[in-house]
Structure formats: structure tokens, C-alpha cells
Amino acid sequence: MFEGVYPAIITPFKAGEIDYDGLRENINFLIENGVDGLVVVGTTGESPTLSHEEHKKVIEKAVEFVDGRVKVIAGAGSNSTREAIELSVFAEDVGADAVLSITPYYNKPTQEGLKRHYSEIAKSINIPIVIYNLPSRTGVNIEIKTLKELSEEFSNIVAIKEANPDLSRVSETILNTNLTVLSGNDELTLPILALGGKGVISVVANIMPKEMVELVRSALNGDFERARELHYKLYPLMKVLFIETNPIPVKTALNLLGRPAGELRLPLCEMSEEHRRELEKVLKDLNLL
């Protein structure tokens, strides 16, 4: 299941409310351009500023709009195990194919706490779980030993979105666990694929899905020359989309391209003028503007 390109899609807003027509339009665009699945209400989808009701409705609407054409991975993490279970159960009930579950943030659990957290989630649902390791935002790094124990005990803990830039972790994970490794950083997708990873949960794919799909499929098919060519073509975009906190640049880019995105919710705000000019230059250099 977890092979290829899964865009971490934005949540479009209009006048402070979720733009569901825009969400449908973005989903159709991505599917038409060959993506393998979609990740909804993750970090890129501004999940921290959505109410629980909004969060659940976006999952439900995304499943409805996708209508079985590709897989839907629902963001369902929390720093409260009870809340993570509630969101995960809801996602399964409305037809999501899997959940993406971030390591608990701010409260910084121990490895034993992480193991118990994911164990309780795994026992509450039957659909697959993708663990999301993002220590730069959460303040905690899930260790390989913990991943090994979880993957051996629970058959529905099947993959990890690895956003720790330490590439040795990818080798350690593949050597010591049965988890599928997905890149959580666009710029590290090619090296992670070379090490045995199977795909990417991508921000860049919101902008250039066809090229990102071709990059990943080329690498998975062993054509690393073509994959490397596409990597360097997309590399400036990979960098500029993180020149400010994600998803500020990607929503700005989509607005510039006339695609549904809308405003950001505080505490996120519009890009600085200097960074916006840098973003525009990259989009022009790629002949997107």
C-alpha cells in the first residue's frame, strides 16, 4: 500500500472557513496527475488550528471526494492518547485507508510512554498506522528499538514517515524492523529511496505532482539517472517551500498559481515580501508562473 507519492495536502480556507469546493478541486488535480494517495489534515493541512469538528469533517469530505480512486491517509495524531484514539477511530469509521500518527508533541514522553501511546492506538483500530517521526517540531525522537518492538507486536503498525534528517536512521529502520519507510522531507526522498525507502509524503507534490511521481517511480524502477535529474530540477522548489514555516510557502505558491488555498490561520501568517519574491523567482524558473 505505502509506495509512491502521497501529497500532504493543504486545507484551503475562504473568509476564515474551510473551502470544501477548493478541497475537492485540489484533490481532483492531484489524482489526475498520478499521485498514489493523499494525506489529509497533517501539518501541511494546518491541523493545529482546526477544531476537532473541522478536523473530522475534512477527513470525511476527503474520503467522499476521493471516492476510492486513491488511498487516503488521515492525520490522526495528538499529544493526548485519548484524542489520538478518538480521531483514529473516527477516520476508520468514515472510510480512511490508514492514519498518520505524529509522536506526541510538547509533553515529550519517554520511549516507554511512546510505546504505550502507539500500543493503545493500534489496539483501537484495524486500519494501518503510519508513525510520524518529526523531532524538530515535537521535541521527541522515537528510537529504533521502540519501532522494532511496536512493529513486531502490532500488525497494523506498518510504516514510518521519517522526517529526522539523520539518514542512518533509515538504514537502521530497514535493517531492524519490518516497517515501510516513507520520506518526510522532499529533499531527502531520493537518498531514502536509494536506501530502500518506498515513497514520500510530499509538500512539493502539491505544486508539481507529475514530476514528483516520476522521480519516485524512476528510483523504484532502478532508473536513478532520471530520478537524479528530476531531483535537481525540483530541488530549488524543495528548498524554497521551507524558507518559512510549512505550510506558509506552499499555500502562497498555490495562491500565486490560482489554485485554491486562501489564507492561513493565526499564528501562521503571510510570507515576508523578501521570501515571497524568492518563491516567485523559483516558480518562474520552473515555468509555472
* Residue 163 banded pLDDT, cuts 50, 70, 90: very high
The pLDDT tens digits of the residues spanning 15-69 come to: 999 999 999 999 999 999 999 999 999 999 999 999 999 999 999 999 999 999 9
Residue 204: the pLDDT is 98
224-240 vs 209-220: helix crossing angle, rounded to 10: 140
Whether the model clears a pTM of 0.85, i.e. scores above it, the answer is yes
Q: Which residues contact 257 (CB under 8 A, 6 or more apart)?
A: 207, 283, 288, 289
pLDDT at residue 1 greater than cutoff 90? no
**pLDDT 10s digits, 273-288:** 999 999 999 999 999 9
Active-site residue (options: 71, 115, 132, 251): 132
161 is catalytic: yes
Are 207 and 182 spatial neighbours (Cβ–Cβ below 8 Å)? no
What was the pLDDT predicted at 142? 96
Residue 44 marked in a binding site:
yes
- 132 is known as an active-site residue: yes
* Residues with Cβ within 8 Å of residue 281, at least 6 apart in sequence: none
What is the arithmetic mean of pLDDT over 188-202? 98
Nearest alpha carbon to residue 240 among 288, 192, 171: 288
- Displacement of CA 16 from its chain's centroid (Å): 23
Angstrom CA distances, 158 to 15, 105, 171, 201, stand at 39, 21, 16, 15
pLDDT band at 119 (very low <50, low <70, confident <90, very high): very high
Percent of the chain with pLDDT over 70: 100
Beta bridge partners of residue 39, listed in sequence order? 8, 73
Query: Could you give the CA distance from residue 132 to residue 147 in angstroms, rounded to a whole number?
Result: 11
What 3-state class would DSSP assign to 101?
strand
Buried b (16+ CB within 10 A) or exposed e, 119-154: bebbeebebbbbbbbbeebbebbbebebbbbbbeee
Q: How many Å from the N-terminal Cα to the C-terminal Cα in the chain?
A: 35
At 235, the pLDDT band (50, 70, 90 cuts) reads very high
pLDDT at 147 over 80: yes
pLDDT of residue 155: 96
pLDDT digit string (tens) for 57-102? 999 999 999 999 999 999 999 999 999 999 999 999 999 999 999 9
CB atoms within 10 A of CB 25: 15
**Residue 205: pLDDT above 80?**
yes
Residue 233 burial by CB count (10 A; 0-12/13-18/19+): exposed, middle or buried? Answer: middle
Report the share of the chain in percent with pLDDT over 90: 98
Question: Strand, helix or coil at 98?
Answer: strand
Within 13 Å of residue 186, how many CA atoms lie on the same side as its CB?
Answer: 31
For residue 36, give the amino acid letter: D
3-state secondary structure of 283: helix
Residue recorded with cell 508562473:
289
189 assigned binding-site residue: no
17 membership: H or E segment, kind and range: strand 17-18
Q: What is the pLDDT of residue 231?
A: 98
Task: For the chain, list the domains and their CATH numbers.
Answer: 4-220 (3.20.20.70)
Q: Which three cell numbers stand for residue 192?
A: 531514502
Cα–Cα distance, 146 to 2 (Å, whole number): 21
pLDDT of residue 196 exceeding 80, the answer is yes
Give residue 130's pLDDT band: very low, low, confident or very high (50, 70, 90): very high
> Which helix (DSSP H) or strand (DSSP E) does residue 157 occupy?
strand 157-162
| CA 265 – CA 116 distance, rounded (Å) | 33
Per-residue pLDDT, 137: 87
